[in-house]
Amino acid sequence: MAEQGFEFDTDQWQAWCLLCGRSRGVPYNTADSLCPDCVEQYQDARFFRRILRSNLALSFTTIIPEPKRIPADLFTRGCKDLFLRKSRGLLRDPWDLLPYLFPADLRIPCGQPALFKMPHLAQFAGLGQTWVLDMSTYGLSGTHKDLRSWAVLSKAIEHDIKHLALWTAGNAGLSLTRLVKRWNATVPPRQRKTVYCLMDDSVPDEIRLELRGPYCWTAELSTGSGAILSRDQLYNMVAAMSGGKAEREGYWQVTDGWDGVGLFMYSLLAQQCIKFLRDELRKTKQEESKVYVILPIGTGNILFGFIRGMERFGAGRAKLVAALPYGDHMMQSFVPPEEREEEDEADGGPRRMGLAEPEAPKLTGFYSPLAPCLWKLTQTKDFNNLEFVERIEVDRAAQLEVAARLQGPDDATMIDAEPSALIAFGALKELARRIRKDGRGENPEDSIVLVVNSGRGLMGPAEWAISKRSIVVSR
Ligand SMILES: [Zn+2]
């Protein structure tokens, strides 16, 4: 029996195909996949051929829930304090949105990111203003995952789901577990939830041990050879871990199919953030400046959240830059080797020598429910009329160099970013170089850049080593 999908409140949520950007005309269901036309498009791609043959197409759920009946002008008001405030009434202000969309009374705030200028980073990269959207300020895990966890738990409370399983490299599990722990402390035993963290065996023991505790079980799965487990196989594992307590009716696996929920939350954040930035630029009469947004790419959640948010918001002049670790990353399967070679040559010779892979374990996974979207991005280099999303690979040297700027002894310039989050900052210099070199008619010093810091969650020994080393370098 396949895992049952969960259908969102029919009156409020619609399903959107993320690949073609069209409404599917049905309520959002976590078991739904792309529209048939889009499946048709990617099934010939080499990466997906084997997966489709093993009937795992459902794992790639690339639709997102889109709320109906939200007054359009709410989305254009900048959503100030959207993620902190309690509702004052029904949909008169942006902060009314969350209680309206997630009616379960979670009572724990969703948290708030910070947005500020970092002049020393602008100077370092040779760019104009450099802003940071800092998500290390989220209170539960110190990472962007808190937004997603908040939405997931809200829905689980609403539908009385007790067992939540997810794939995690550490931070998604940490975030959901901490939130569940706080929730459990406030409710009678029958309303308490349990989290099951499914982790690849490449995740260090330190992270696994840190997660394990009351209301959190961890399981190590050896998927290194490329195995993708079906929803059914995962359920059977969770059922065994729970000693038979996790019955299907009260169980959700909140990775596949739930990615859209996280993505929806990031799209709200993206609107809030771009609106704020535009307002700030207007004050200094720089509203005509080109804005670049650099984001780290792991599974693609933040990237597609920004894409969706900007589509809805119509923020024309912002351009997205996907920062990836040099070497292994999710998009590698879609970028043909020839193109990689050419890129290296275009950069002025064989750069491959001397380039080393950075330490970015949160970004090196090969599986993402958003894989078809990432694939399409590399095929068309365009996404629903947004300008080309640029890709920058960051090597170890660039990662260490920028780490020293962010994690050095100077408190005023410190940013809480784990090595994987540093990849976005590591792309700054290369972006400035490309703007200068490509003759786009732009001066990098007139460009405005926003770097998205995904934060600092659980780190293994190799990640700690990078953090420590960068501090030594800066001294
Ligand atoms: Zn479609």
- CATH entry 3.30.360.10 includes domain 114-142+264-474: no
Q: To the nearest whole percent, how much of the chain has pLDDT over 70?
A: 83
pLDDT digits (tens, 9 = 90+) for 364-415: 877 777 888 888 877 765 544 445 688 899 999 999 889 888 876 666 678 8
Q: What does pTM read for this prediction?
A: 0.90
The total of other beta-carbon atoms located within 10 Å of residue 107's CB is 11
pLDDT of residue 192: 95
CA distance 420 to 422: 5
pLDDT of residue 473: 46
94 pLDDT more than 60 = yes
Task: State in Å: Cα 248 to ligand 1 middle.
Answer: 30
40 pLDDT more than 70 = yes
**What is the residue-averaged pLDDT of the chain?**
82
Task: State in Å: Cα 83 to ligand 1 middle.
Answer: 30
Those residues with Cβ within 8 angstroms of residue 3's Cβ, 6 or more apart along the chain or in another chain = 31, 231, 232, 235, 248, 253
pLDDT of residue 344: 55
Task: State in Å: Cα 6 to ligand 1 middle.
Answer: 20
Q: Give 46: exposed, middle or buried? Use CB within 10 Å, 0-12, 13-18, 19+.
A: exposed
Task: State in Å: Cα 415 to ligand 1 middle.
Answer: 39
Task: State in Å: Cα 3 to ligand 1 middle.
Answer: 23
pLDDT digits (tens, 9 = 90+) for 290-316: 889 999 998 889 998 998 888 877 656
CA distance 133 to 218: 31
Task: State in Å: Cα 300 to ligand 1 middle.
Answer: 18
pLDDT digits (tens, 9 = 90+) for 304-351: 899 888 887 765 668 899 999 998 887 777 775 555 555 555 555 555
Report the residue count for the chain: 475
CA distance 114 to 326: 28
CA distance 29 to 300: 20
Task: State in Å: Cα 33 to ligand 1 middle.
Answer: 9
pLDDT digits (tens, 9 = 90+) for 229-256: 777 888 888 899 888 888 888 898 888 7
pLDDT of residue 362: 84
181 pLDDT more than 60 = yes
80 pLDDT more than 80 = no
Task: State in Å: Cα 35 to ligand 1 middle.
Answer: 4
